[in-house]
Structures are given as structure tokens and as C-alpha cells.
Amino acid sequence: MQKGRIGVTTDNIFPIIKKFLYSDHEIFLRELISNAVDATQKLKTLSNLGELKGDLGDLTIRVKADRKKKTLTVTDQGIGMTDKEIDKYINEIAFSSANEFLEKYKNQENAIIGHFGLGFYSSFMVSEKVEIFTKSYKKGAKAVKWECDGTPEYHLEEADKEIRGTEVVLHLDKDSKDFLEDHKIEELLKKYCRFLPVPIAFGKEKEWKDGKETELDKDKIINETNPLWTRKPADLKDEDYKKFYSDLYPFVDEPLFNIHLNVDYPFKLTGILYFPKIRSNFEIQKNKIQLYCNQVYVTDSVEGIVPEFLTLLHGVIDSPDIPLNVSRSFLQSDSNVKKISSHITKKVADRMHEIFKNDRAQFEKKWDDLRLFIEYGMITEEKFYEKAANFALFKNTDGKYFTFDEYEKLIKDNQTDKDKTLIYLYATDKDKQYGYIESARNKGYDVLLFDGQLDAHFINHLEQKFKSCRFTRVDSEVVDNLIRKEDRKDSKLSKQQQDDLVPVFNGQLPKNANFSITFESLNEQDIPVQITQSEFMRRMKDMAQLGGGLGFYGDMPDSYSVVINSNHELILRVAEEKDKKTGNAIQKIDDKIKPIKANKEELDNANRDKKDEEISQADKDRIKDLDDKMKDLNNKREKILSDFGSKYKLVKQLIDIGLLSNNMLKGEDLNKFVKRSIELL
Ligand code: ADP
């Protein structure tokens, strides 16, 4: 028997392992089974190379729990270890046999399992004692038992073991009893070992017979040793990919497309990525990609390894070239990871382009489910934008699809304004903006539909990308102003008339938002009053809602413009009626205002070039007095006009029509509108 100290420099390595090295204790099982798989693969490699003769026998790895003895055992029939190897590989912790093995056989193509780092010693995270029984495949090798109770002292002695391979027995500590439960072990095996390349048995197959469950004498294999991504794409059918998807994500809608990745150089990477249907709420779709390292499950959080937008995809990526035992921030700067990331981006873009070219009809059909993903990619990854600009689609309010180029050609002639800016008109809600869409189309304009979750950002992005263009929502201006082509025609209402109508309408506007009245000299047949919302303000608010760091805008009340058509017959009628009803009273006030105004102008002129302290107190007092009088008269004037407005039903009716065509007339107001309409008719 041999006693010794493990080659570590501190007495306290085990408590450190326990507490700090792995936040997730459960990964010990992955590490032990990886070692077992490793040993089995090495045996197969040796056999393939002819260094080992004869039948390899059963290579199944077995996991057993003994609740009485409180042990968990992992047994393999791999290459095993001699006493010298135990010394070297187990006792000298820093030494990795895998490296040496790789060195020796590095030009062989057979896969050799990579490794994760601390490996075997992670079993001390859950054990008070660990035993290894092992017998090497080498001729004449003697079986040995190694034992260690968590102090750096170990025991090594000869043991009875007939069968080649290694058995690791964990005596679980009292905090880790969970790992003796069947369901817990099954859960871990399913999570980490589901696609390992060597069969792993846990428990026995069961069968229902005569109304009760009986155990059969047949191992229950928990893993799929040849998962889909390791197979040749040429051998696989569409159904195979769909089935694999539903195995990975039960109860999720069928995916739209898939990509089978298979890279050998400059790094090794295989995998299958799926495009899920994403309509909204994309946050919950993130992080469904599973990352494997030679079929060993590592994580389902691939942030930092693939670009942000690709985390929306589903599926598996398997690469021995992704460094796994390092921090995320390190990953992002790792050059291999960068290469992998840009390679996947390219592959994804190429695949999309290929589908677009080969089957545009199908691509269009799936576009609504794909577009959030593509827009996200285009906004966040320049490389992806460059490629995707060839196949990304615009959809118009008719449900027709166009590439960016096609669309530009379509609207170029009719939608370029007098400053040579190309105006892309869009709607975000076909029903709510119906009236605006119609009037734009009646003018021969085309209107795009941007009703997606990311569209506010996407539009901003496109405006930066496209040359001299602007995106304008159909309801942000009256139709004549959406695309300004020549200068305005004359207004039938004078400036003074327009100013007088402001208080007439103002008093009748709803109080739940900010409204400001403007006049436009539109066509006589355009509607008399329209409500529009400034493109800028609306976008800022939309983005604030999406969390673009614009909270300030989110808190502002909605503001709208009330656009009055100063050429419409009904507006002219309001002006006439106003003159009839208020003309005299207004005239009287204006007569009073006139001399005051003249007086004040005279005073202002006299003091124009003086500094404040040079103006005499007497003048200052007179100016103030005149100002007050004028204010007072103006208030009276305004009051007369707004009183008139509040009594004149046509004013309220016109405002309500404007609100109604913008979907803003609701509840009681709508009811009143209907009643008033009947009365007026
Ligand atoms: P790693 O697997 O990362 O090299 P480990 O600490 O897990 O590190 O294992 C150290 C070495 O011990 C392995 O490289 C291997 O040579 C040997 N070893 C561990 N488990 C087994 C096993 N089940 N069969 C044969 N050799 C093993």
C-alpha cells in the first residue's frame, strides 16, 4: 500500500473546490461521466489503430446509486489506469493526460473528448470520500484502488477487479443526499449527458404488465449516441430535423427553417440552428440554444459566443474550440470565439439568402414570423445588415412584399419631394390609420406596414442607411404635406380670420392631451379638420416605451396637431358665422385696442436704443399700464370668440369628425357626437 500527498500546494484545496470553484455542484456528474466517455473513446481509438486486439465487449457506462451506503458510482469499461497513471493523472492535479494523449495521436481523425478543467476533483464538491477502482487495458496490468477523504492524503493499494475500466465511488456528504434520488440523477443525466457518444445506463427498463409496473432485465439507456447534428446532412430529411426540434423543445411551434452547421477549419464546429416563429415578445425567445462540447452539454446561455440577435435562434452548437472554463467577458475577446461568431452570422445570412432566391414565395409566406429576427440582426450587426439588405422585405398595406431595391424603384417617381428626399410612407395600424392610408393611396402613394415590435428602431436605422430618405407615418401630416412637391396655394381665410378661429376651436378640444391648432390651405374637398401627431414626438415616445433610454419622452403627454383646412367650405362657414355673431363686439374691442397699440408702439420706439436703467420710471409705468390694458382687452376678445365657439354646434362637430377619423372619439363623447349628428341632419 502506498500513502502520499496529492500534488497540490495547499492543505485547503478541497474546501476551496467545494465553495468557490463551481457554483453549480451538480456538474460533478458531468465531469465524471465525461471522463468515463473519454476513457471509452480512447479505448476505441486504440482499437481502431490496432494497438489493442480483440473484441472490446460491452462499453456501456453505468451510473448507480446506493441509498443505504450513500454512494453514487460511475463505472466505465474504458482504458482504465495503472498505479503509475493514477499517480500521474490523479495525484498530480495539474497534469492532464488528455493533453499527452492528444499530442501522441493528434493526427488521427477519431474524436478524442476534450476536457473542462478541474474534472475529476469536482467530485469532492459533493463527497466526503472518493474511491477509484481501476484496471488498465494494458497487458498484465494490476487493478488498483485509490482512496481519498478530502484531505490531501490519499491511499493507493492493489485491488480485486476483473473487468477492464474504472469505477468511481462517491461517498456523498450530508449536504448532497439529493444526488441519491433517482429523479435527481435522471434530471442531471438528461441535462448533461443526453447526447453523449457512449451509451449510459441508469436503472432498468420498465414494463406495464397486469396493471403494475415491473422491472425488466434490460439497462435503461438515457442518451442518444448519434444525435442529429453529428450526422451527414445528405442523409437527413426534413422530418428528421423537425423531430429533433420537437425533442429539444416539446410543445413549441414548428420551426420555419433550419441550418445544419458543419465547419472543420479554422475551427471545429457542428450544430443545427432553427429559426423559430417570432412575432412578438422576443425576450422570452432568447437563450434557447444549447452549447455542447463534443456532445457534452455545457450551457444554454450562449451570450457572448454568438451575436446577440442570434440568441433568438434555437438548436444546438457543438464545438471543442470554445473555451469553456473562462468568464463571459473573456469569451467575447477570444479570437476563436469571434471567428465562430462571425462565421455563424455569415452562415445564417447565406442560408436566408438561399431560401429567398430559391423559393421566394415560401420566404414571403414566412416573412412575418422571420422579420423580427432579421430586423434585430440588421440593427445590431453591421455584417448581417450588409447581407440581409439583399433579402429583407418591406410589406405594404396591401400585403405585397418588396425588397429594398424593388421598393425604391416603385416609389421613386411619385414620392420624391421638392428637396429630392425620398419619402417612405408607413402605417403602424391598418385599421386605426385607415383614413390616412386611403387618402395617401388616393394620391397614388404606396404605404408600408410597420407593425412589428422593433419597427421604431428599424426605421431609424434605415434612415441612417438609405441615402436622402425619410420615413413618415401616414398620419403625421395631412396628405398634401406628407410629400411636399411645390409651394402652397393661397388660403381663402386671411391671417386675421385664422387667428380669430383659434379660440373658437380651442375651447372645444378634449382636455386629455395637448392639442395645438394649425391652418393649412388644402384642397376644398379634403376633410375640414384632421388630427395628426408629429413623427418626431411619436417616435421618441415609441422608443421610450421599448426602453431606449428615452424615459423623458415616455413621460410627456401625447401631443397632437389639429389641422384646419382653411379652404374648406364648412370652415369658411364657421368664419362667416363668427363674423355675424361676434363682429360688432369684436369691432368695439378692436377700436379700443387700436389707440393703445399705437400709443405703446410710440413709447417703444422712443426707448428702443436705451438700456433698461436708462428708461425713465414714468415711461416704464406707462408701458406697464398699456400692456395690462391690452392684455385685458385681448382676454375679453378671446372670451367672446370662445363663447361663440362653445355655442356653435358645427365647431364641436368638426372637431369630433377629426377625432373620429383618428380613432380618438370614444365612449360618452362618441355618443354625444352621434346624437348631435342626428340633430344637425
Ligand atoms: P481531465 O479529464 O480534464 O484531464 P480530470 O481531473 O477529470 O481531468 O482527470 C485527470 C485524468 O485522469 C484524465 O485526463 C484521465 O487520464 C484520468 N482519468 C480520469 N477518469 C478516468 C477514467 N474514468 N478512466 C480512465 N482515466 C481516467
Question: In this structure, how many other beta carbons lie within 10 angstroms of the beta carbon of residue 629?
Answer: 15
Q: Which of 6, 13, 89 to mutate to test the pocket of ligand 1 (most atoms within 8 A of CB)?
A: 89
Query: What integer best gives the mean pLDDT of the chain?
Result: 86
pLDDT at 330 over 80: no
For 164-196, the pLDDT digits (tens) are 999 999 999 998 999 999 999 999 999 889 999
Q: Are residues 502 and 615 in the same domain?
A: yes
Q: Are residues 303 and 329 in the same domain?
A: yes
Last residue of a domain, one of 455, 482, 509: 482
State whether the beta carbon of 344 lies less than 6 angstroms from ligand 1: no
Q: Are residues 41 and 171 in the same domain?
A: yes
**Residue 237 to residue 428: CA distance in whole angstroms:** 40
For 511-537, the pLDDT digits (tens) are 878 888 999 888 888 889 999 888 877
Q: Are residues 197 and 314 in the same domain?
A: no
Q: Are residues 511 and 460 in the same domain?
A: no
Q: How confident is the model at residue 123, as a pLDDT?
A: 85
State whether the beta carbon of 97 lies less than 6 angstroms from ligand 1: yes
Q: How confident is the model at residue 324, as a pLDDT?
A: 60
Is 518 a member of any domain? yes
Q: Are residues 53 and 96 in the same domain?
A: yes
State whether the beta carbon of 82 lies less than 6 angstroms from ligand 1: no
Q: How confident is the model at residue 552, as a pLDDT?
A: 63
For 22-49, the pLDDT digits (tens) are 456 788 898 899 999 999 999 999 999 9
Q: Are residues 126 and 246 in the same domain?
A: no
Is 623 a member of any domain? yes
Report in angstroms the alpha-carbon separations of 649 from 368, 440, 576, 636. Answer: 46, 30, 14, 22
Q: Report whether 349 contacts 387 (CB < 8 A).
A: yes
**Residue 651 to residue 488: CA distance in whole angstroms:** 25
Q: How confident is the model at residue 206, as a pLDDT?
A: 87
State whether the beta carbon of 71 lies less than 6 angstroms from ligand 1: no
Is 488 a member of any domain? no
Residue with CA nearest ligand 1 atom 16: 97
State whether the beta carbon of 166 lies less than 6 angstroms from ligand 1: yes
C-alpha cell at 34: 465525461
Domain with residue 207: its CATH number is: 3.30.565.10
How many structural domains does the chain have?
A: 4
Q: What secondary structure does DSSP assign to 309-335, as a single string?
A: GGGGSEEEEE-TTS--SS-HHHHHH-H
Q: How confident is the model at residue 635, as a pLDDT?
A: 94
3-state DSSP of 465-476: HCCCEEEEECCC
CA of 116, closest atom in ligand 1: 3
CA 35 to ligand 1 center in whole angstroms: 5
Report in angstroms the alpha-carbon separations of 145 from 8, 91, 153, 218, 488. Answer: 20, 13, 14, 29, 97
Q: How confident is the model at residue 109, as a pLDDT?
A: 33
pLDDT at 103 over 50: no
Q: How confident is the model at residue 20, as a pLDDT?
A: 46
Is 428 a member of any domain? yes
Instruction: Please name the amino acid found at residue 222.
Output: I
Is 385 a member of any domain? no
pLDDT at 603 over 90: no
For 44-75, the pLDDT digits (tens) are 999 999 888 889 999 999 999 999 999 999 99
Quickly tell me which residue has 364657421 as its cell: 574
- pLDDT class of 612 with cuts at 50, 70, 90: confident
Q: Are residues 274 and 411 in the same domain?
A: no
Q: Are residues 418 and 288 in the same domain?
A: no
Helical segments of 97-218, H only:
97-105, 182-193
pLDDT at 606 over 90: no
Domain with residue 255: its CATH number is: 3.30.230.80
Q: In DSSP terms, which residues pair with 561 in a beta bridge?
A: 516, 532
Q: Are residues 453 and 552 in the same domain?
A: no
Last residue of a domain, one of 197, 221, 245: 221
pTM to 2 decimals? Answer: 0.71
Domain with 458 in it: 392-482
CA of 34, closest atom in ligand 1: 2
Is 640 a member of any domain? yes
Last residue of a domain, one of 482, 508, 534: 482
Question: Cβ neighbours of residue 405 under 8 Å, at least 6 residues apart?
Answer: none
Quickly tell me which residue has 490519499 as its cell: 154
- pLDDT class of 564 with cuts at 50, 70, 90: very high
Q: How confident is the model at residue 16, as a pLDDT?
A: 54
Helix (H) or strand (E) holding 156: strand 153-158
Q: Are residues 261 and 401 in the same domain?
A: no
Mean pLDDT calculated for residue range 308-312: 87
> How many C-alpha atoms does 16 have within 13 Å on its Cβ side?
8
C-alpha cell at 250: 416539446
Instruction: Please name the amino acid found at residue 557.
Output: P
Domain with residue 472: its CATH number is: 3.40.50.11260
Cis-peptide, bond into residue 266, ω within 30° of zero: yes
pLDDT at 14 over 80: no
Q: How confident is the model at residue 338, as a pLDDT?
A: 81
Residue with CA nearest ligand 1 atom 11: 89
Is 382 a member of any domain? no
Residue with CA nearest ligand 1 atom 13: 97
Q: How confident is the model at residue 108, as a pLDDT?
A: 39
**Residue 425 to residue 407: CA distance in whole angstroms:** 12
For 434-476, the pLDDT digits (tens) are 989 999 999 999 999 999 888 988 999 999 999 889 999 998 8
For 257-293, the pLDDT digits (tens) are 999 999 888 888 999 999 988 766 666 667 788 988 8
Mean pLDDT calculated for residue range 550-557: 65
Q: How confident is the model at residue 385, as a pLDDT?
A: 96
Q: How confident is the model at residue 5, as a pLDDT?
A: 64
CA of 93, closest atom in ligand 1: 6
Comparing CA positions, the residue from 454, 137, 468, 424 lying closest to residue 308 is 454
Provide, rounded to the nearest whole percent, the portion of the chain with pLDDT above 90. Answer: 52
State whether the beta carbon of 98 lies less than 6 angstroms from ligand 1: yes
- pLDDT class of 543 with cuts at 50, 70, 90: confident
pLDDT at 111 over 80: no
Is 487 a member of any domain? no
State whether the beta carbon of 90 lies less than 6 angstroms from ligand 1: yes
Q: Are residues 215 and 303 in the same domain?
A: no
